[in-house]
Amino acid sequence: MIRIVLVDDQELVRAGLRALAERDGDITVVGEAGTGRAGLSRVRELRPDVVLMDIRMPETDGLQATRDIVADPGLDDVRVLVLTTFDEDELVFEAVRAGAAGYLLKDVAPTDLRSAIRVVAGGESLLSPAVTGTVLRSLADRLRAQVDDAPLQGLTEREREVLALVGRGRSNEEIARELLLSPATARTYVSRLLAKLGARDRARLVVLAYETGLVVPGT
């Protein structure tokens, strides 16, 4: 059973998310909160598998709550899935930089919501290529101004190739096909990148690929 906590300042939204998430019987909502501060408290109390986190909330917003969850060693196994809308592009990018495992649009289809929760609970990241592209294109100028390739210095050429493909939203299977590797070898490269770069998950690798200039928005 996947245990989740809902953090959103609108009670009606939380009720809808609860009904949708629990429909198949393998996901259960163990707690709710209406602010980031209360959400952080509930997460520390309940230690769920996944947190569905709204960005804009009173007191502590979803960005700071995500940072606090990621920074807490006692919550290493808790994954944050941010809920957003298309008009919050920069906030979405900041959420992923803060350590969120991915994000969903608030108008997500019920089946996609449950699938996303399962993916994130399983340790993967959820970054829709279409939405990721929109977010990163909107931040292209800022990203170019902040490029720092220092984290890449310890990587081999093949590791850089794999990181670039992760940054472009490729799955392990797609990376294997493009680089003529076995799927197991592709997974090993991704695991090695996580360790070398000190990245919490695949979402952080995507951010690093753009921040270091390895992948340029719009290409």
- 202 falls in which pLDDT band (50, 70, 90)? confident
Residue 147, pLDDT score: 59
Q: What is the mean pLDDT of residues 148-177?
A: 88
**Sequence letter at residue 194:** L
| CB burial readout 98-132, b (16+ within 10 A) else e | bbbbbbbeeebeeeebbebbbbbbeebbbbbeebb
- 170 falls in which pLDDT band (50, 70, 90)? confident
User: Tens of pLDDT along 55-87?
Assistant: 888 888 898 999 999 889 899 889 999 887 755
pLDDT of 20 above 60: yes
Place of tokens 């592709």: 186
- Determine the Cα–Cα distance for residues 179 and 118; give it in Å rounded to an integer: 28
Q: Which two tokens stand for residue 13?
A: 């939204």
Name the residue among 219, 201, 192 with its Cα closest to residue 77.
Answer: 201
Residue 207, pLDDT score: 79
pLDDT of 47 above 90: yes
pLDDT of 205 above 80: yes
Residue 217, pLDDT score: 61
- 178 falls in which pLDDT band (50, 70, 90)? very high
Domains of the chain are: 2-126 (3.40.50.2300), 145-211 (1.10.10.10)
54: helix, strand or coil: strand
